[in-house]
Amino acid sequence: MTALEAIRWRQGPPASLQLLDQRLLPLQTVYINVGGPSESWHAIKDMAIRGAPAIAIAAALALAAELVNGGGGTQFSSPSAVQEHVKKQMAYLVTSRPTAVNLSIAEQQLTALAAKAASAPGATAASVTEAVVGACHAMLQADVAGNKAMGDFGAKAILAELTARGRSSKAPVRALTHCNTGSLATAAYGTALGVVRALAQRGALEHVFCTETRPYNQGSRLTAYELVHDGLPATLVADSAAGALLAAGRVDAVVTGADRVAANGDTANKIGTLSLAVNAQRCGVPFYIAAPTQTLDPNMADGSHIPIEERSPSELTHDIDGRQVAAPGIQVWNPGFDVTPAELIQGIITEKGVIERLQDGTFDVRGFMASHG
């Protein structure tokens, strides 16, 4: 099976960063060469690359590519000049899209790392550059390993929960997922789709339903593409069919990704996630979030503070070929994300374990982070 790769990276020198242009999927596979932060900013803003982990990695590696190909540090007069450059470029990259916290965490981590490397005894511009490039590369590798671990934790948690609810421990799971959280949204394997893959790998997946994910169709274009690629038993449903599917008892568990999880467990994810969670609760189906710890935002007390990206009205008024499909003159509200309250979430699956819901319906995200490094 050929690997689905959203991000192709060679550290070099020369370094090379290629991003799969997801706007053209599923019909065309075209990679864009990205030389530095400006090209990456546009690729993120214009949705050539998307998905919370993939955005952060693409931003960091664009900076790394520019540093390596610009001279590996020789282009800077001092360690502090590299540090300033890293700070400036990451502050710029973080303005591309606001909701996913992964990118701003990457900004904080790389800025802090550059400052530390620049103040180390004997630091040179080359040593600071090397430290930053190494950290960007490590981000890519850690994401793949983390997603595999998340998949295992998630598969186990879902099977245990369904058994506790009275299903046979041998019965395979019928899962429902939203948006795209797979190899295309991460370095590889995926978060929520990684959990689905992990269920399949242990022979515990009966079927997976993926929503269309209007208006940008990440489900029908990207998740469906990944599921067909993997040969998993899968069915595409319109977003508006999900309630009927749940009410018909055809889903055992819902699992989606996240763009930002607040300290109390409130979770921002692709628009439509909230409706799925409400419907799942109404139908007695457990609803899970799968997200790396990098998507946890302990500094945000609850979901009411999460910035929600509003996207172009044309995503609703025009079809993919640019033809007008909505009545001319109609006003449009097109939020890219919504916030699901913690109380609707059964568990938050991370690469370090599952955060369990407390008695009061919230999650102790800060406590989990403190006890899991």
Footprint on this chain of ligand MRU (rule: CB under 6 A)? 50-53, 100, 179, 181, 185-186, 191, 218, 257-259, 269-270, 336
Beta 7-10 vs 16-20: how paired, if at all?
A: antiparallel
> Cα(81)–Cα(67) distance, rounded to whole angstroms?
12
C-alpha distances out from residue 162 to 195, 230, 254, 288, Å: 15, 25, 12, 12
From the list 289, 294, 328, the residue with the least C-alpha distance to 103 is: 294
DSSP string, 238-282: -GGGHHHHHHTT--SEEEE--SEEETTS-EEEETTHHHHHHHHHH
Kindly report whether the peptide bond that precedes residue 233 is cis, defined as omega within 30 degrees of 0. no
Q: How far is the CB of 99 from ligand MRU (least distance, A)?
A: 8
Cβ closest to ligand MRU, residue 85 vs residue 270: 270
Cβ closest to ligand MRU, residue 136 vs residue 271: 271
> Cα(37)–Cα(264) distance, rounded to whole angstroms?
33
Cβ closest to ligand MRU, residue 22 vs residue 317: 22
Give the active site residue among 21, 143, 239, 259.
259
Q: How far is the CB of 371 from ligand MRU (least distance, A)?
A: 24
CA angle 138-142-144, nearest 5°?
125
Cβ closest to ligand MRU, residue 285 vs residue 349: 349
Q: What residue is closest to ligand MRU based on CB? A: 257
Cα torsion angle, 364, 367, 372, 373, sign: positive
Q: How far is the CB of 191 from ligand MRU (least distance, A)?
A: 4
Q: How far is the CB of 242 from ligand MRU (least distance, A)?
A: 15
Cβ closest to ligand MRU, residue 186 vs residue 340: 186
Cβ atoms of 261 and 203 closer than 8 Å? no
Cβ closest to ligand MRU, residue 129 vs residue 220: 220
Q: How far is the CB of 100 from ligand MRU (least distance, A)?
A: 6
Q: How far is the CB of 186 from ligand MRU (least distance, A)?
A: 5
113, HSE (Cβ side, Cα atoms, 13 Å): 21
From the list 10, 346, 2, 359, the residue with the least C-alpha distance to 154 is: 346
b vs e for 51-79, b when ≥16 Cβ sit within 10 Å of the residue's Cβ?
bbbbbbbbbbbbbbbbbbbbebbeebeeb
CA angle 118-120-121, nearest 5°?
125
Cβ closest to ligand MRU, residue 242 vs residue 258: 258
Q: How far is the CB of 147 from ligand MRU (least distance, A)?
A: 8
Is there a catalytic annotation at residue 259?
yes
Phi, psi of 97 (to 5 degrees): -145, 140
Bridge partner residues of 371 (DSSP) = none
Residues with catalytic roles? 259
